[in-house]
Amino acid sequence: MAKSAKISASHEPGGLIVHISGLLPSLSPAEQRVARLVVSDPAAAARRTITDLATAAETSEATVIRFCRSVGMDGYPQLRIRLAAEAARRIEPPDARVVGGDIPPGADLAQIIATIAFNDARAVEETAEQLDPAVCEQVVEAISGAGRIDIYGAGASGFVASDFQQKLHRIGRIAFYFPDVHTALTSAALLGRGDVAIGISHTGTTSDVIEVLEQARTRGAATVALTNFPRSPITDVADFVLTTAARETTYRSGATASRLAQLTVVDCLFVGVAARNRARARKALEATAEAVQSHRVGANRRRA
Amino acid sequence: MAKSAKISASHEPGGLIVHISGLLPSLSPAEQRVARLVVSDPAAAARRTITDLATAAETSEATVIRFCRSVGMDGYPQLRIRLAAEAARRIEPPDARVVGGDIPPGADLAQIIATIAFNDARAVEETAEQLDPAVCEQVVEAISGAGRIDIYGAGASGFVASDFQQKLHRIGRIAFYFPDVHTALTSAALLGRGDVAIGISHTGTTSDVIEVLEQARTRGAATVALTNFPRSPITDVADFVLTTAARETTYRSGATASRLAQLTVVDCLFVGVAARNRARARKALEATAEAVQSHRVGANRRRA
DNA sequence: CCACGGATGAAACTTACTTTCACCAGGCGT
DNA sequence: ACGCCTGGTGAAAGTAAGTTTCATCCGTGG
């Protein structure tokens, strides 16, 4: 008893396994048998019941408990949990993911999934990191006070534009999206001071969008550009520039990463606007949610 | 096609937590209370005894056991250990970010951005983790060999459906998307063996989509469901079920996280299909890229 | 209104964990 | 050599944790 008592003081936060193997020689023979089992396969040990482990170590449960105390645990369940945690941590990180890289021709689907998800998640994170909250704030303010909001985007970015439009609409802001250039131009011509025009273009070189944004600007509307390239042409016609941070240059993994990044920015703006008037936004959201209720079918099933 | 045994079954290698939150709506109220406790702090739950947890969830031990079974565990000890492992693997939760939580009323924009981006990125990562490559593979194969591919989705999921359609179209697959239920139904009625129908619904309860998918199935098409909830009604009419892992349950941060997750899955499938025939896909992509070139304006500037 | 089925918790029950205690083996003083 | 302590050990008793059963409750649909 005296021997193990002194050890109990050491609180071992890091490597429990290491800790155990360190004091292995100071343990009694029967406890050593237990310790060796534990050290050699922590994950397996974590799965065993105390009786099981005792049998495997050719000893009694009592000894296992003594072992637990010897290494500074309260009891067996605690040891089990620590072991499980330890074992989980040991798993090496998923092999070298190709950052922003191409997908090798021979890749299997699991690899493809890992690569894509990694890049997609990165795009979202990095976009958020480099977003300037000050600019966002100004844009949010402009949108909040706008008489009307026009959103432009072509192709894949049109998708995002449309999403933004819907979101704003759902919280009661007057927002429009135009899938067609001519309609957009017409609308832009009707904007004025106090209105907001938002142009979305990943490359920042989509002439249609630039043109429309320019039109809006000359009419006195505040113009916002959302693009991946801070020095692209679209930024010339924008009062506020928001950038995404998708690295993907190739078309390989679709333009999905950039789309996700754009959607994230849009979401931030949306929540920012909604936060300005919680009550009103919430009310509007609840109303719209209710509206689609009738198109929902019975709840999720219970059992398997 | 093995229609009896549904593909996807009990695959949850990625995240147990994620798995649980997906199952959440399909649990009974009392079990949901337990689930919420577990999801909100897995590490703490792992430390608790079953009686403790039951008390905290204001329910009985019996319910906790039922919960364990519902999420596919043998019993409470097993759950505990899995939770401990899970919690350990989890990287230090970035300071005060409310995981899947609400955005505090007083939050400034920088906080909002951080929270949103964090949740969005998480949704993408966790979705990838829990995606079953085997099911993906089968879906990819079905799509690759399909005579025709119909994609259905309403509201926000409609965007994703449309995106998928565009992607497949761009690599030369014959794919359709219908924004309108009636057109979709008509189209579904014309499907047959060898065709593929894909239904996208975050909640898995959108009656329109379910209906159309069912129609497609009775016509002999292979049906695929993409939803966040593995036990939702849409899975009843699907041969293949793919799930996303967005935790957000509230409308607050928009349904953006779920949308991103869906897009990621779509991207994976797309790349998977494209990888099946690199040459052909690449050629098609290059052709389409060239087509929009004329709508691009001069390159990015070099310096300021 | 009742029958029904699922959800639920109390209590019985089982298993796992912990403590107690007697025993044994080896060291040590007489 | 003989007791006599001392630490190591497992059997068994005891306690707590986990699991099952079952009666009750509640909402649903006939």
SS3 label, residue B300: coil
Which residue in the set A77, A84, A289 is minimally distant from B85, CB to CB?
A: A84
DSSP B261: H
Mutate to test the interface with B, among A167, A264, A270, A302 (most CBs of B within 10 A): A264
Q: Which residues of A touch B292 (CB under 8 A)?
A: 155
Distance of alpha carbon A35 from its chain centroid, rounded?
A: 40
Q: What contacts B96, CB < 8 A, 6 or more positions away?
A: none
Q: For residue A46, which of A6, A86, A89 has the smallest C-alpha distance? A: A86
Flag if A295 and B154 touch (Cβ within 8 Å): yes
Flag if A85 and B80 touch (Cβ within 8 Å): no
Domain B16-99 has CATH 1.10.10.10: yes
For residue A15 the two structure tokens come to 């490597």
| Angle at alpha carbon of residue B4, lines to B1 and B6, rounded to 5° | 80
Q: For residue A72, which of A1, A12, A3 has the smallest C-alpha distance? A: A12
Q: Residue A14, CB, less than 7 Å from strand D?
A: no
Reported as a single tens digit per residue, the pLDDT across A243-271 is 888 765 444 444 788 889 999 999 899 88
Q: Which residues of B touch A117 (CB under 8 A)?
A: 124-125, 127-129, 264, 268
**What confidence score (pLDDT) does residue B98 get?**
44
Flag if A206 and B296 touch (Cβ within 8 Å): yes
Sign of the Cα pseudo-torsion (B178, B180, B181, B186, in order)? negative
Mutate to test the interface with A, among B124, B173, B231 (most CBs of A within 10 A): B124
Can you name the CATH fold of B130-293? Rossmann fold (3.40.50)
For residue A289 the two structure tokens come to 């949610």
- Which 3-state string (H, E, C) describes B217-230? HHCCCEEEEEECCC
Q: B190: pLDDT confidence band, cut at 50, 70 and 90? A: very high
Reported as a single tens digit per residue, the pLDDT across A20-63 is 876 676 788 888 889 888 888 888 899 999 998 998 888 988 99
On whether the CB atoms of residues B299 and B167 are closer than 8 A, the answer is no
Q: How many CB atoms lie within 10 A of CB B2?
A: 8
Q: Is A46 on the interface with B (CB under 8 A)?
A: yes
- Output the CA–CA distances (angstroms, integers) from residue A48 to A121, B28, B46, in the order listed: 37, 31, 16
**What confidence score (pLDDT) does residue B226 get?**
96
- Residues facing A212 on adjacent strands: none
On whether the CB atoms of residues B176 and B166 are closer than 8 A, the answer is no
SS3 label, residue B242: strand
Can you name the CATH fold of A7-90? Arc Repressor Mutant, subunit A (1.10.10)
**Minimum-distance nucleotide, CA of B65 to C1':** D19
Q: How many CB atoms lie within 10 A of CB B43?
A: 15
- Return residues 81-120 of B near A (CB < 8 Å): 81-82, 84-89, 103, 105, 107-110, 112-114, 116-118, 120
Q: Which CATH superfamily is domain A109-293 in?
A: Glucose-6-phosphate isomerase like protein; domain 1 (3.40.50.10490)
For residue B105, report the phi and psi dihedrals to the nearest 5 degrees: -55, -35
Q: B101: pLDDT confidence band, cut at 50, 70 and 90? A: very low
**What confidence score (pLDDT) does residue A203 get?**
82
- Output the CA–CA distances (angstroms, integers) from residue B240 to B4, B189, B266, B276, in the order listed: 12, 19, 14, 20
Residue by residue, DSSP assigns chain A as: -HHHHHHTT----S-HHHHHHHTGGGS-HHHHHHHHHHHH-HHHHHHS-HHHHHHHTTS-HHHHHHHHHHTT-SSHHHHHHHHHHHHHHHSPPPS---TT-PPPTT--HHHHHHHHHHHHHHHHHHHHHH--HHHHHHHHHHHHH-S-EEEEE-THHHHHHHHHHHHHHHTT--EEE-SSHHHHHHHHHT--TT-EEEEE-SSS-BHHHHHHHHHHHHTT-EEEEEES-TTSGGGGG-SEEEE------SSTTTTHHHHHHHHHHHHHHHHHHHHHTHHHHHHHHHHHHHHHHTTB-S------
Q: Residue A59, CB, less than 7 Å from strand D?
A: yes
On whether the CB atoms of residues B217 and B192 are closer than 8 A, the answer is no
Res A219 pLDDT > 70: yes
**What confidence score (pLDDT) does residue B280 get?**
67
> H helices of B232-277, where?
256-276
Domain boundaries, chain A: 7-90, 109-293
On whether the CB atoms of residues B199 and B153 are closer than 8 A, the answer is yes
Residue by residue, DSSP assigns A175-207 as: EEE-SSHHHHHHHHHT--TT-EEEEE-SSS-BH
- Stated length of chain B: 304
Res A281 pLDDT > 70: no
Reported as a single tens digit per residue, the pLDDT across B230-245 is 888 899 899 999 999 8
Cα separation, B53 vs B63, in Å, equals 10
Q: B144: pLDDT confidence band, cut at 50, 70 and 90? A: very high
Q: How many CB atoms lie within 10 A of CB A150?
A: 28
Q: Is B16 on the interface with A (CB under 8 A)?
A: no
What is the enclosing helix (H) or strand (E) of B153?
Answer: strand B149-153
Mutate to test the interface with B, among A116, A127, A138, A157 (most CBs of B within 10 A): A116
Q: Which residues of A touch B106 (CB under 8 A)?
A: none
Res A195 pLDDT > 90: yes
- Residues facing B175 on adjacent strands: B149
CA–CA min distance B192, chain A (Å): 26
For residue A38 the two structure tokens come to 């534990």
Nucleic acid strand D: bases within 7 A of protein CB: 7-12, 16-22
Q: Note the CA–C1' distance, A191 to C16, in angstroms.
A: 74
Q: What contacts A75, CB < 8 A, 6 or more positions away?
A: A65, A68, A69
On whether the CB atoms of residues B50 and B64 are closer than 8 A, the answer is yes
On whether the CB atoms of residues B71 and B21 are closer than 8 A, the answer is no
Q: Note the CA–C1' distance, B25 to C16, in angstroms.
A: 33
Q: Residue B75, CB, less than 7 Å from strand D?
A: yes
Point out the residue nearest to D10 (C-alpha to C1').
Answer: A60
Reported as a single tens digit per residue, the pLDDT across B242-293 is 999 887 654 444 478 888 999 999 999 998 898 887 766 666 666 655 655 5
What is the enclosing helix (H) or strand (E) of B149?
Answer: strand B149-153
Flag if B116 and A295 touch (Cβ within 8 Å): no
